[in-house]
Chains A and B, each alone.
Chain A
Amino acid sequence: MEFKPTIVAFLCNWCSYTGADLAGTSRVKYKPNVRIIRVMCSGRVDPTFIFKSFREGADGVLICGCHPGDCHYQEGNYKCLRRYKLMKKYIEQMGIESDRLKLEWISASEGKQFAELIDSMTARILELGPSKIKQVVDTLAV
């Protein structure tokens, strides 16, 4: 069966979610594989959310926040960045390719960039193929 990846994306309310909305209002087309979850700030993205997404079968996880210096909450995006760098290493140790997790800055005016980001990330996940972690955990859990 054709592999249709699922990407779970956590978008901050102020910049990135608005940017994704702008892609919509501008009718920019992109790949339908992304499922967006709104958080107030990228700093809210708890590592648990990412593990949970992979655990439940996400093939990729994307976090988007405001550009450095533009965070609505001053510096939540920096905290997210630090956490992200650790998590990249961590998921690799768990057997998840680090490219499956991505952090990008999308401003409220970057609807087009958001669309391009989804397309490029979808392409990368297609190269990587389905994530095996859910299957592995399910097997171990039995």
Chain B
Amino acid sequence: MEEVRIGVYVCWCGTNIAKMVDVEDVTRKIGALPGVVISKNYKYMCSDPGQELIANDIREHKLNRVVVAACSPRIHELTFRKALEKAGLNAYLFEMANIREQDSWVHDNREEATRKALDLVAAAISRVRHHEPLDKRSVSINSATVVIGGGIAGMSAALEIANAGKQVYLIEKSDKLGGLVNHFDLTYPYLYDAGSMLELLIRRTTCHPNVKVYLNTVIREVHGFIGNFETTLHAGTRKAEKLEFGNIIVATGLKPFDASRVHQYGYGRLPDVITSVEFENMLHTGEVLTKAGKIPQNIAIIHCVGSRNPGFHEYCSRTCCMVALKFANQLRSLLPDANIYDLYADMRAFGKGCEELYTTTSRKKITFMMFDQQEELPQIIKSVVPDDPPMLIFFREKISGIGVEVPADMVILMVGVEAHPDVKEIAHAVGISICGNSFFIEKHPKLDPVATTTGGVYIVGACQGPKGISDAVCQAKAAAARVLGTINQSSVHVEVTTAVVNESLCCGCQTCNLVCPYTAIRFDKDKKVSYVNEVLCKGCGTCGSTCPTGAIRSKHFTDQQILSQIDGLLTMALKQE
């Protein structure tokens, strides 16, 4: 075996790491470990000069292993692997020690954090000695794309890809395209007509020669990997259809919060307490009337229903404040003399044209009042006085601290949004994760906001988090660009960290065949050994931990590599005592 020559690089990450970890101390102590030829620290290892530093050292000092102690490998492993490749070293002869997310950011004792960093770097050094070069594997990309969800985001993504001349299969669960926007009358902040906008988009989508729309259809399972997915569509009694495609865009949207969960508001009990979605429909008909068919004289709008309250959802649903202002405007036009009350928790009017909408609305004789969303929600009760408006809203006005009574003929509840109940099924089908609020998790909130940790799967629109139409369409087009980029390359590199069987050690017990979730391991009856289909293997390593003879190796996560990591971790710790 050639001599192992390791270069170790400790990143300051500005002050992010350097403030809590003594990077000089780590660099010095680590430099003394066997096999370490050079150890350095630098302000930002991920920067161009940082990567250059590594590349130069690889050439100059004939390094054949590299360890970077910096942030999470989930962020920059790929960056450094590329730097190695540029310097002519195989990308897998690299290991990262996570001393930021799992050290400097979570501890407040510098001595302990430094000690931990030392252990983690020592473990990485110990592990990297046993790394071996792995050959890249590339797969061809099927140029068709599946878009799940036919709302405004899904259609926008589908059209963008279809316009570039690529096939799109648009899968919609319900019996029509358009999703939640179907229920909207006008859109904020410019009060454009949602219906005509949507109609145009639906027409373009359904007429496009490259888009095949499947209504009343769901996807239960997706097999394969980036570039080579396949699924069977289920559509009621129709014969199941098989699709093959290279990328997936998930655009499943969200659903309005169930207002009856907030008991104080009496939704479902009081006939003229309605949700914002119901009110949109009412506006669409052009007639705003109470259940009794009367024109309301006192109308109250209540914000944050189901949002920003630990009892329901802690997050802000992001669009309701502006929709409420839109309602106030529309109401004022329809009913010039009515009393309009806007009961808000905080007026959130960020973004282009929104604060302006608030300003213009506030000049239209709308009574804005603030309540405390965290402490005390308003109470709506039935009025007992015969000629009074049928409802009374009691609450403490937050700024003045005074108890207020608001009469109302109609109350509009600005319901928040929440994830669909079937997100888990979708997440499972396409292999992505959901956050605590049941929205899909993006690969990186800032640097890669529409990708997911699963290659070839993208998330757009409100299924990723509450957002308005503009943002949803932006994401849709961003994802479409990502998909088209992949298709344009015609092939992509995929992880090569699959399992491999050493035939001379395999005893033919077939335990691995049983535990493999992807039926990637088959048994060769002639040779009486198991073998791995690398295309199907996703590298979970479950077979490796089951094999009684150690015949199966999980590449890049071999027993030897992990055992050495444990060794490095604990022996360094002991030496310090």
Contact = CB atoms under 8 A, between A and B. Distances in A.
A27 B545 CA distance: 34
| Candidate in A56, A83, A107, A110 with the most chain B CB atoms within 10 angstroms | A56
A44 B544 contact: yes
A76 B542 contact: yes
A29 B571 contact: no
B542 A30 contact: no
A75 B577 CA distance: 41
B497 to A, nearest CB: 7
Given A37-B562, A115-B106, A72 B542 contact: no
A93 interface: no
Interface stretch (B112-120, B151-159, B249-257): B112-120
B101 interface: yes
Nearest to B122: A35
A45 B106 CA distance: 25
A8 B105 contact: no
A32 B112 contact: yes
A17 B74 contact: yes
Interface stretch (B291-299, B301-309, B427-435): B427-435
A109 B431 CA distance: 16
B102 interface: yes
Contacts of B431: 72
Contacts of B453: 14, 18
Interface string A54-72: 0011100000000001101
Contact of A35 (B109, B120, B497, B557): B120
B262 interface: no
Contacts of A45: 545
A129 interface: no
B534 interface: no
| Candidate in B103, B112, B433, B497 with the most chain A CB atoms within 10 angstroms | B433
A65 B121 CA distance: 24
B101 A21 contact: yes
Nearest to A73: B540
A70 B434 CA distance: 9
B371 to A, nearest CB: 29
Contacts of B101: 20-21, 23-25
B107 interface: yes
B567 interface: yes
Interface in A84-119: 107-110, 115
Given A46-B544, A108-B433, 16 more contacts: A1-B577, A17-B72, A18-B74, A18-B433, A32-B112, A35-B123, A35-B573, A40-B497, A40-B554, A44-B542, A47-B545, A49-B563, A58-B566, A70-B428, A72-B540, A76-B542
Interface of A: 1, 6, 8, 13-15, 17-18, 20-21, 23-25, 27-30, 32, 35-41, 43-49, 52-53, 56-58, 69-70, 72-76, 79, 83, 107-110, 115
